[in-house]
Every structure is written in structure tokens, then in C-alpha cells.
Amino acid sequence: MSPCLAENRRPPRGEPGYAPTSDAAAKVGKLRRQQAAIARFGRFALHGLDLTKLLTEAVRVCAEGLGAPFSHVCQFRAEQNDLLIVAGHGWRDGVIGHAVSLADPGSPQARALTTGEPSVCDDLQTCHDLPAFYAAHGIVSIVDVIIRGDGEQPYGILEIDDDQQHAVDQDDICFLNDFANLLAEAVSTVSRWAALQVTVDRMKALVGEKDRLLYEKNVADLQLRQAQKMEAVGQLTGGIAHDLNNVLTVITGTIEILAEGVADRPEFAAITRMIDEAASRGADLTQRLLAFARKQPLRPRDVDVNALLIEAAGMLRPILGERIEIELMLAADAAPALIDPGQLTNTIRNLALNARDAMADGGRLTIETGNIVLDEIYAGINSDVTAGAYLMVAVTDSGHGIPAGILDHVFEPFFTTREVGKGSGLGLSMVYGFVKQSGGHIRIYSEEGRGTTVRLFLPQAIGAAGFVEPAEVASPSGIEGGHETILVVEDDHLVRTFVVEQIQSLGYRTLAAADAAQALVIIDGPAEIDLLFTDMIMPGLMNGRQLADQALRRRDSLKILFTSGYSNEVIIHHGQLDAGVLLLAKPYRKSDLARMIRAALAANCKLADILP
């Protein structure tokens, strides 16, 4: 029991403080009312964690406990050195949350705040500099008690206000002190709970951030593993295509010779045509493999993609058939793209053919363009992306969609869901390799029963340098030879023997070497050499480009022609041939060989002009 309540027990008859029974009964009733008020507020405070509701209930219950018409709580603001009314009972609008009292040493509130003792003013006419709201409400007497805080600084003041003279006795003072102490503990509990809630929210945010970062890391790891796998498969694919192209070079060339020899034998001529067709199909297959491996030479230039797509749509209509509707949604402000237009057309064709197979009963093919910026955040999540401005080309079909379980494999070479014999499984692989080699980005979205969207993000051509076509001499119809001397450098014996024979059949004189070291010995010798015809990939310490550099330092007028089963970053950067470079891609026919030899011999731009 509070000491104040214990001190106010009724004294025995004859002792000081004794009152008649009626006065004693009134006193007991008041004490019970005040005890009930403390108990009622205590129960509320056990579950009240909203500070505003807690203070509002406190001033109401406290006023009822004293039978006063007004009460309020002021919060002490140390920086402003004032008291702001944050809760009140009985006041009109405009007081709570607005009225402020200065914490001057001479004010009743400041006395309670600084001394920690109750401050009673039963005649406000004796108090100066009080806010105007007191007079506006007819307040004549006030009692202030301190609401202590957790530390040295108090929370504020609990004040009882009356518009009549109110005789405040010791019981009332004890009630107010007890109530203020209870309120101080409740405010402290709410404050601690609020601080705890902030900590919990912060912890939840940190956990959420950790989960987000972990998710992004897992996604990035998955994308990195997929990119590494695709890169490894690409390297393997490129190596296989290189070897196949060496073999196909010999097959393609020798079948031409054989066809000439059996031209008057129809039964054998038909066989040579079959072999030639098979070789062409093999060459097409290796080109598809090289496209996936990003080893094909590209000719990027500024391209109006909208115009290209309009033209491609006309080409696609007879291929897709009447049951598939083509819809173009082309952005009027679409930026030009730095891209190889021929390869982009093939890409759109491949995507359209895949869409056709997904819409056996007909449907809609939508091709859309738009400018888009992939920012640093997106690039951070997708490690294979360079942040910047792109032109987006989206190809959407209304077909059956792709199951989620195989969506991550659709760009892998030879992966297909078609029946055996219906497609090579290289269409999307070619698309993937082409976009990546062009410096772009590709994403596929699909849901079973709702169709598929492939989005290509192509580099914009703004401020970029496009491909400059190497100057070639115009060749007359037929095969043109010559009498110059050509040094052939090729590590594959079969290919070297075949190429030397083909060049000699064109009338040229030939020298041959199996690697760069042998070639330099010949170049350092007395023999006249007009053209170096060298493979790019060779054993030893030098590749074809390095051999050409050394050769030009010895003979600066030497002309250079490269050949390779696949493009190499030594002479191809960002998907396009270096300036001044002539490349004859394997496999090639005799007519292609003759044309490129003449072009190289007649070229004005020497490789020596662009050496670092």
C-alpha cells in the first residue's frame, strides 16, 4: 500500500485529525475512487502499448479520480526548453498537440519539473506568463506533479486543472504522485517496447536483406555456372567445327575436281552432286555450330531494325502459313542497332520457325521493338550483362509454351523437344551465340499453355563504329588465276596438299610451310613472295596473325590473306574483322579461293598500315 494511503487512515476519536462519521465516510469514498482509478489505469497499462492511447486514458482516469473537469500531460522538450501538451481531457480543439508552456523557473510546471515536488497554484491570477488557453477555459487552479523518465531527464508533467477553487488535500497529492509514478512506468514500458520493436523491425529488415542478397547470389551463381557451361560447350563446339571445316574444305574442293572429270558420265555426275550436297549441308551445320560458339565473322553496322523487321515479316508470311497472324508493334523512336543485318534476319527467321512449331493449330506471332536501359543493378544481378542503352526486340508466340524444367536448357546446342529428324536443335543456339557475340543480351520467358517470349537486347548504334567492308576487286565471271608466288602456311597436311594443288591449278607458283617457324625461314630466304596465305590456328609459338606481323616487318609490301575454320579474337574483335583484314572462311570452293586471292593481291590497304 502507498505510504500516502497508509498515512490517511482515519485516526481514533480524540486524536488530532478525527472527523465525524459523515466526513470520514466521504473521505473513504474519495480514497476508494482514487484507488479504483489507479487500479483501472494499471490494468489498461498492462496491455496498452500505444503511447497516444495510453496518455489519453491516463488523463481521463486521473481527472475522474479527482473529480476535476480538466487534466493534461505535458512532454518536456529539452532542446526547446518547453512543455508540449501531448494528451488532455476536457479541452477544446487546438490545445492538444499545439499548446506550449515555457519551462521557466517561475512557472508552476517548471517548479514541479526541477524540484520533483508537487506544485499547487490555487489562484492563477498570481501566476504570470501562462498560455492563453488557461484563461480561455476559465481555469483558476492547477496542480502539477512530475512524470519521471528512465534517465536523469523527466518525461514531463501531469497536471490537474479546475475552473473553480479546488481544495487539494494530502490525499489528492498522494494520489497524483502515485498516479504519475504509475504513468511514468507505463510510458517507460511503452518506450522500451517501441525501441524493441524498432530493433525487431531492423532485424527483420536485415534478415530480409540477407535473404534477398542470398537469393541474388544464388541466382548469380546459377547464371555464372550456366554461362561457364555454355562457354565450355562453345569452346568444344568451336574446336569440333574447326576440324570439320578442314575436312570439308578438302571434300568440297575435291568433289569439284571429280565433278569436272565425270561431267560426261551421268551416273557418276549424279553421285558427285549428292556428295557435293552433303558437303554443303555439313558446311551449313558447322556454320551453325560456329554461330553458337561465337566464332563466326560478323559485319555489324548501323541498322534500322524497324525497317528490317517489316521486310522480314513479308518473308515470314509464306513460311508461317495463313493460320498464323503476324503482328508488328514497332516503337516509333526505336534507336538504330549496331548489328549484322543478315544474321539478325536469320535470327528472326529461326525464332519464327520455333514459334510456328509451337502453334500447330495456328495463333499469333508478335514482334515488338523498344528502347531500354539495363542499369547497374540489373547488370549486377546478371553477370553477363554490360549496363547501358539497348534496342529490345521481343518475339512472342501464343503457342503451348515451354515446361519450366527444360527452360534453362533451350540455348544448349542440339537440345530439342522435337521428334527425331525434325530439326537439328541448333536454332536457338545460333540465336544465343549471335546475340552474345554482338555484345547483346538475351532472355526467354515461357509458361505452359500461355506461349513464349524471347527478348533480344541489341547494342544501340549511337556513337559506335560499324563494320567497314574491305575493298575487293571486281572479278570477271568464271575463275581468274594469276602467275604470282603464294606462300601457303597450313598445319593440316591433307588441307595443305589440297590447297597447294588448287592454287597451282590457277596458274600461281607456290611455296608451302607447316607452321610459322618454317614460313619465316622461307620469308627470310631469297624467294620472291607476293602473297602470304596462312591459317589462323597453328601449333607452335605463333598464330597466323603473329606470323603476318613478323612477315610484314621483313617484307613490308607483302599482301596477306587469312583462312580459318572459325574466327578468332586475334583478327576479330567485338564480332567483326579488324580493319584491313581479309579472311577466307573454311570450307571454301575453288571459285571462292580464286576470288579472294585476287582481292588480296589487289588490295590497297596493307595489314602493315594498322600494326600497333
Identify the band that residue 576 occupies on the pLDDT scale cut at 50, 70 and 90.
Answer: low
432 in a structural domain: yes
Identify the band that residue 266 occupies on the pLDDT scale cut at 50, 70 and 90.
Answer: confident
**Distance between CA atoms of 199 and 194, rounded to whole angstroms?**
9
Assess whether 181 and 70 both reside in one domain: yes
- Report which secondary-structure segment, H or E, holds 145: strand 141-147
CATH code at position 495: 3.40.50.2300
Q: Is the pLDDT of residue 290 over 60?
A: no
Q: Which domain holds residue 328?
A: 300-459
130 in a structural domain: yes
Q: Is 397 helix (H, G, I), strand (E, B) or coil?
A: strand
Q: Do 529 and 509 meet the contact criterion of CB atoms below 8 Å apart?
A: no
**Distance between CA atoms of 336 and 344, rounded to whole angstroms?**
13
470 in a structural domain: no
In the chain, the amino acid numbered 258 is L
Assess whether 85 and 184 both reside in one domain: yes
Percent of the chain with pLDDT over 70: 81
Predicted local distance difference test score (pLDDT) of residue 612: 44
CATH code at position 379: 3.30.565.10
Assess whether 53 and 179 both reside in one domain: yes
Assess whether 172 and 304 both reside in one domain: no
Assess whether 451 and 521 both reside in one domain: no
The residue among 118 and 466 whose pLDDT is bigger is 118
151-162: per-residue pLDDT in tens? 788 999 999 999
Dihedral of the alpha carbons of 340, 346, 348, 349, in degrees to the nearest 10: 170
End position of a domain, from candidates 175, 194, 213: 194
327-382: per-residue pLDDT in tens? 999 999 999 999 888 888 888 888 888 888 888 888 899 999 999 888 888 877 77
Assess whether 455 and 489 both reside in one domain: no
111-145: per-residue pLDDT in tens? 888 888 999 988 887 776 778 888 899 999 999 99
**Distance between CA atoms of 539 and 492, rounded to whole angstroms?**
10
Cell matching residue 386: 554490360
**Distance between CA atoms of 471 and 582, rounded to whole angstroms?**
9
Assess whether 411 and 546 both reside in one domain: no
End position of a domain, from candidates 424, 459, 494: 459
Q: What's the pTM value of the predicted model, to 2 decimals?
A: 0.47
In b/e form, how buried is each residue of 349-370, taking b as 16+ CB within 10 angstroms? bbbbebbbbbbeeebebbbbbb
CA 270 vs. chain centroid, Å, equals: 57
End position of a domain, from candidates 194, 227, 262: 194
Mean confidence (pLDDT) of the chain: 81
Predicted local distance difference test score (pLDDT) of residue 474: 46
Lowest mean pLDDT, pick from 72-81, 101-110, 187-196, 354-363: 101-110
489-508: per-residue pLDDT in tens? 988 888 888 889 889 989 99
- Provide the greatest CA pair distance for the chain: 154
Tell me which residue of 494, 470, 506 sits closest to 250, measured CA to CA.
494
Q: Is the pLDDT of residue 276 over 50?
A: yes
Tell me the HSE value of 358 on the side-chain side, using a 13 A CA sphere.
Answer: 27
199 in a structural domain: no
Q: Are strands 485-489 and 531-535 parallel, antiparallel or unpaired?
A: parallel
- Report which secondary-structure segment, H or E, holds 600: helix 590-602
Q: Do 492 and 450 meet the contact criterion of CB atoms below 8 Å apart?
A: no
**DSSP, res 81:** T
Assess whether 43 and 189 both reside in one domain: yes
Predicted local distance difference test score (pLDDT) of residue 109: 87
Total tally of structural domains belonging to the chain: 3
Going by C-beta distance under 8 Å and a sequence separation of 6 or more, which residues neighbour residue 107?
101, 127, 129, 130
Predicted local distance difference test score (pLDDT) of residue 467: 47
CA 228 vs. chain centroid, Å, equals: 19
289 in a structural domain: no
Assess whether 319 and 450 both reside in one domain: yes
Assess whether 448 and 399 both reside in one domain: yes
CA 551 vs. chain centroid, Å, equals: 48
